[in-house]
């Protein structure tokens, strides 16, 4: 008997993708019912969900981390599977729209208000790939009355994106040239290895884990081997690097505007990657006590010592907090916790972990109070750096009211909020901080056992996004984001960190910013 109109061929395709029919049915119901929006109570601010620390506090926490780190296996986790197509989107648009035979680049820029293209061309010789790029372009071409500078700039951009040339649109960010140093060009991979050796190392070993596309793993391996010996020699730290892929079984089914399964031109079902939330499974498979999470494009050429300080400080805060949590859990587990301990633990829940306790708690027996406290404490823990909001697109820290009425600290994307509600929009407008994905977390319990991280996902926090395929509208479901819904039930601490720690490269022009340009004679 066919279910939901699926044929035998469909069922074979679903099974071969590692998916179950039950999962497909759930996803189709999500498309039909929609996803409830997050309900914001108020933004998290300094003193109300976000810790403000002094320079001395950060230094003390970093020293604590250094004193304790050799008792832990540390690992750095870097999501790095995405292609760099968005970095060069405005250049791709230019190549598709510009008529080299009759138009001028200046006229194109003025007509389309393409300031990004102006910035790119004005700073082109400052890009780390420029020197190699010009060697690949034939500047002897002539096009009648066409200005020589236009032909030169057009050919530079075309060579940069041409699949037969540099092909930067289809390559992962991790292997692209980001920084110019004396004698060599550094990729984001190199910068992450260098960072990892400084703060994500214990007992002389730095463990790093990259989530990559299977097609690009060999490129990552080659980039690592080209710089490994130099970094190990400089840091006196051994680098241990491994990889994982986003499991195809976390792909989700696409639907048409009528919520019917989307089919390609050959009649096959279309599945799409489930978004970065799928990486909770990759994180779940890691064997480590403490994990640093940072995006592949958030690296810096200068002031790595400052990055190291704040990363270690977040790690120190995590270790101090975890020690207190484990002490409480051992007391509860051993049966030695008393009434005075309950009061102390409740203060800790409220002041250190920002856990909002429901009003009827005091009516509980001591036994039930301790059971409640244990249930709240016995979870994965994350310490998240937050930077002041300067208009970057993305998520931020908020106090959120859940479906059951409970209030908790969460990282929320704008797309998760009901933007037709003026009250919710006002809360977003009042927010002061932004999530740079600067996370340190622990994924083992007080007995040294790994948590099953899938137990702490809020499955109501996924996303429905609109896409196109072959010119046709397609709706896709993305799983709850890795640091959004996938970590919704973790214990969470937000700490303000300075903007110097956040240097993403979302477009190629970001490489022109001071954080990515040589200083003090470099380059």
How confident is the model over 194-218, as pLDDT tens digits? 999 999 999 999 999 999 999 999 9
Q: Which residue has the tokens 């620390």?
A: 53
Sequence-ordered list of residues with C-beta below 8 angstroms from that of 29, at least 6 positions apart, any chain: none
- The span from the CA of 440 to the CA of 77, in Å, is 10
| pLDDT (mean) for 109-131 | 96
| Cβ atoms 311, 437 nearer than 8 A | no
Q: Is 267 left (phi over 0), alpha (psi -120 to 50) or beta?
A: left
pLDDT in tens, 274-301: 989 999 999 999 999 999 999 999 999 9
Between CA 484 and CA 82 the distance in angstroms is: 19
How confident is the model at residue 145, as a pLDDT? 45
The helix/strand/coil state of 385 is strand
Q: What pLDDT, in 10s, does the model give residues 418-442?
A: 999 999 999 999 999 999 999 999 9
Distance CA 211, CA 245 (A): 6
The phi-psi region of residue 198 (left if phi > 0; otherwise alpha if psi is between -120 and 50; otherwise beta) is alpha
Question: What's residue 471's pLDDT?
Answer: 82
Res. 82 pLDDT band, cuts 50 70 90: confident
pTM of the model: 0.94
Assess whether pLDDT exceeds 50 at residue 6. Answer: yes
Q: Chain centroid to CA 505: how far?
A: 13
**Helices and strands (H and E) in the chain: how many:** 15, 20
Instruction: Identify whether the C-beta of residue 407 lies closer than 8 Å to the C-beta of residue 399.
Output: yes
Q: CA-based Rg of the chain, rounded to a whole angstrom? A: 25
Q: Is 386 exposed, middle or buried (0-12, 13-18, 19+ CB in 10 A)?
A: buried
Q: Given this model, what pLDDT does residue 521 score?
A: 52
Tell me the per-residue pLDDT of 458-516, one tens digit each, with 9 for 90 and over. 998 998 988 888 888 899 999 999 999 999 999 999 999 999 999 999 999 999 999 99
């Amino acid at each position: 008997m066919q279910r939901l109109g699926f044929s035998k061929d469909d069922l074979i395709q679903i099974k071969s993708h590692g998916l179950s029919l039950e999962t497909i049915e759930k996803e189709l119901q999500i498309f039909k019912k929609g996803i409830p929006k997050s309900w914001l109570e108020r933004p998290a601010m300094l003193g109300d969900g976000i810790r403000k620390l002094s320079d001395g506090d950060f230094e003390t926490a970093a020293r604590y981390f250094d004193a304790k780190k050799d008792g832990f296996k540390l690992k750095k986790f870097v999501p790095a599977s995405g292609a760099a197509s968005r970095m060069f989107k405005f250049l791709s648009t230019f190549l598709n729209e510009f008529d080299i035979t009759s138009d001028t680049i200046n006229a194109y820029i003025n007509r389309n208000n393409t300031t990004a293209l102006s910035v790119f061309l004005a700073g082109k010789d400052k890009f780390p790939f420029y020197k190699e790029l010009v060697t690949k372009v034939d500047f002897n071409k002539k096009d009648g009355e066409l200005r020589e500078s236009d032909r030169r700039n057009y050919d530079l951009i075309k060579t940069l994106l041409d699949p037969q040339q540099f092909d930067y649109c289809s390559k992962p960010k991790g292997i692209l040239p980001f920084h110019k140093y004396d004698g060599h060009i550094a990729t984001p991979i190199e910068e992450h290895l260098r960072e990892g050796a400084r703060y994500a190392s214990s007992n002389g070993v730095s463990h790093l884990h990259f989530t990559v596309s299977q097609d690009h793993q060999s490129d990552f391996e080659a980039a690592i081997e080209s710089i490994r010996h130099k970094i190990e020699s400089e840091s006196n730290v051994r680098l241990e690097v491994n990889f994982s892929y986003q499991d195809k079984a976390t792909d989700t089914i696409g639907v048409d505007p009528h919520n019917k399964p989307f089919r390609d031109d050959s009649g096959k079902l279309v599945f799409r990657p489930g978004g970065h939330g799928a990486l909770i499974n990759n994180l779940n498979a890691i064997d480590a006590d403490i994990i640093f999470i940072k995006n592949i494009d958030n690296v810096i050429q200068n002031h790595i010592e400052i990055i190291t300080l704040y990363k270690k400080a977040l790690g120190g805060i995590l270790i101090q907090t975890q020690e207190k949590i484990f002490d409480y859990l051992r007391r509860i587990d051993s049966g030695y916790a008393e009434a005075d301990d309950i009061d102390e633990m409740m203060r800790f829940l409220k002041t250190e972990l920002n856990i909002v306790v429901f009003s009827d708690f005091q009516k509980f027996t001591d036994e039930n109070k301790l059971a409640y406290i244990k249930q709240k404490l016995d979870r994965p823990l994350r310490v998240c750096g937050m930077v002041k909001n300067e208009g970057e697109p993305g998520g931020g820290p908020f106090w959120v009211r859940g479906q059951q009425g409970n209030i908790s600290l969460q990282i929320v994307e704008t797309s998760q909020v009901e933007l037709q509600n003026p009250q919710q929009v006002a809360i977003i407008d009042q927010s002061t901080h932004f999530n740079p994905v600067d996370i340190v977390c622990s994924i083992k319990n007080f007995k040294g056992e790994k948590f099953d991280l899938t137990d702490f996902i809020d499955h109501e926090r996924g996303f429905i996004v609109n896409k196109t395929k072959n010119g046709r509208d397609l709706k896709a479901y993305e799983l709850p984001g890795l640091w959004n819904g996938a970590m919704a039930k973790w214990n969470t601490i937000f700490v303000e960190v300075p903007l110097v720690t956040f240097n993403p490269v979302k477009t190629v022009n970001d490489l022109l910013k001071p954080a990515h340009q040589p200083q003090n004679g470099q380059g």
